[in-house]
Amino acid sequence: MSDYKGFQFKTYDFSKQLDTHIDLIDLLHNTIGADLKKRPENVRWLFEPVQQYLDELAALRENPDKLVYRHFTFAPEIVYAMDCISYVPEALTFMMPTEYLCALVDEGREMDVPDHFCGFLGGVTAPLLTGRLPKPKAILHCNQPCDNSVAWGSVLAESFPDTEMFILDNPYGDDEEGVRFAAEQLREGFNYLERMTGKRLDLDRFREVMAKSAEAYRLMYEINEYKKAIPCPIPTSSILRPISVAFYALTGTEGLVGWLEKHLADTKERYEKGTGGWREEKMRVVWNLSWPIFDYGVYDWMEETFGAIAVAYHSAEPFYQPPDIDYGKASYEELLRALALRNNNHAMGRQGRGHFMTFVNDTLKWCREFSADGAIFAGHWQCQANWAAAQITKEKLMEELGIPMLIMTVDQLDPRVVSAEQMVSRLEPFLEMLAEKKGIKP
């Protein structure tokens, strides 16, 4: 462990030679999956979405005809409605151990993958280019949320020249015309999947999937309402990874609904008892954009040292509310419109398309509704589109809410770019300022 003023962070040995040619699904099961099984039973339920997605990936071995590549901001409901399994390359890098991720990024760099290519994609580029990823029956891609994602589409197309790709052109605006535009494309997407997989869409199955998706969003919205309470009843750092996996990968599944029901029941119980997270809450921050996947100890440090609780996260907050329709009887047209609304308004996709003021206004909304004392823009250094909104977000927060915002560079995946110690060295003076402003002694 690495030490920062008495606080221990993770350390990594990047000198080890790792076998990057191993099966990545096996890697996840033998590391993340094995670790989940060792967790105490009273907290193991928190990670059920991670385990659910690992189980889905394992099922691909016996069901290769169901394999559909899907961009992480393309709604998975379309895949589940077709009774297929979504394979999200970005999810592999999101979940895999840091040493392996960095080794795969380095392998890609040796193959001339440029430095500015996002690590989420760069970490699976070498396996893709060398034929180590499975061949899909279909590929669902889209033009959000960044230039790296658009470039990744070209890499996929060139790697699987015999597999036609469907690209969703996400609308710029959020008006009714934009919704209709997206719905018509999703109709084409279903036609594409029918052609590529040889399956026919079952309308009742589509209804079932969309009903489960709507229920998941309803439950998450209620959970988020409880998060506004002071103290926040959820130990927020512990829920980050499961929430991200859940809403980027599992919307439309029964497993996600069941997990959210447990999550809501636990949140309600803590709220009714007036119980906060694991540590005393003294101040609240909204964390924008990128968090350090390689070491969540950064949040433990914030909470232990300053009582600073991160109550909302840009990349993991699905604030979308689905339309109130009878999903059991909905027509195909109604379901397409509901799926278009959901696809247009999920985290990252929503803030990564159209006018950058969406990013700014969403941050204002989160800070206002969650009673934030400060905001932190932790900009993934390769996400240039989001950096364009950073300064104006900072100015608007101060102008409208009197809330300061720290802007700093991070790499979500690679501690060699910015380590946990370097992150907290930037956070420390900012949180000291917030503490002084509130009259709090750290």
pLDDT of residue 319: 65
List of residues 6+ apart from 2 with CB closer than 8 A: 8, 9, 10, 11, 419, 420, 421
pLDDT tens-digit series, residues 143-184: 888 788 888 899 999 999 999 999 999 888 888 999 999 999
pLDDT of residue 441: 76
pLDDT of residue 442: 65
Q: How far apart are CA 344 and CA 326, in angstroms?
A: 21
Measured from the Cβ of residue 413, the count of other Cβ atoms closer than 10 Å reads 24
Task: Work out how many domains the chain is built from and give that number.
Answer: 1
Let me know: does 271 contact 244? Beta carbons within 8 Å: no
* Residues in the chain where the model's pLDDT stays below 70: 1-4, 238, 315-319, 442
Domain range for 62 is: 2-438
pLDDT of residue 349: 76
pLDDT of residue 316: 64
- Alpha helices by DSSP H, listed for 144-197, are 147-159, 176-197
pTM above 0.85, yes or no: yes
List of residues 6+ apart from 69 with CB closer than 8 A: 86, 87, 88, 89, 136, 138, 139, 140, 141, 156
